[in-house]
Amino acid sequence: MLNVRLPQDLEARLEAEARRSQRSRSALVRDAIGAYLAERERQRFMEAMGRAARAVGDDASSARESREMAEAFLDLENEVSEPPGEYDAGDPWWR
């Protein structure tokens, strides 16, 4: 259980939205917190993807391997292929 104190203006806005939407304040707060946490997780994921992309770009060997992968995928253009089996970091799935 969690108790939260809200400033009066925010509590009034929450109460008004609860009446308009015919939902409880608790349901609105749960949804708002869930949406906030999902957005933060998405932001962290995107930041990690950016760091990974920069790391690949900064490493000549990784950049070369990435270009090779991209070229290999271009060859597959409209072909349908089976998804890769279990991932083994020691044996890249694209080879």
pLDDT tens column, 15-50: 999 999 999 999 999 999 999 999 999 999 999 999
Query: Can you tell me the distance from the alpha carbon of 14 to that of 26, in angstroms, rounded to the nearest whole number?
Result: 10
Sequence spans of domains, the chain: 9-75
Question: What's the confidence (pLDDT) of residue 61?
Answer: 86
The answer for 83, left when phi > 0, alpha when psi is -120 to 50, beta otherwise, is beta
Q: Which of 2, 55, 67 is nearest to 32 (CA)?
A: 2
Question: What's the confidence (pLDDT) of residue 36?
Answer: 96
Query: Can you tell me the distance from the alpha carbon of 11 to that of 22, in angstroms, rounded to the nearest whole number?
Result: 16
Question: What's the confidence (pLDDT) of residue 84?
Answer: 55
Q: Which amino acid would we find at residue 70? A: A
pLDDT (tens digit per residue) in 48-76: 999 988 888 888 888 888 888 888 777 66
Per the model's pLDDT, the better-predicted residue between 75 and 84 turns out to be 75
Least confident of 7-11, 24-28, 46-50, 77-81: 77-81
pTM of the predicted model as reported, rounded to 2 decimal places: 0.59
Query: Can you tell me the distance from the alpha carbon of 83 to that of 93, in angstroms, rounded to the nearest whole number?
Result: 10
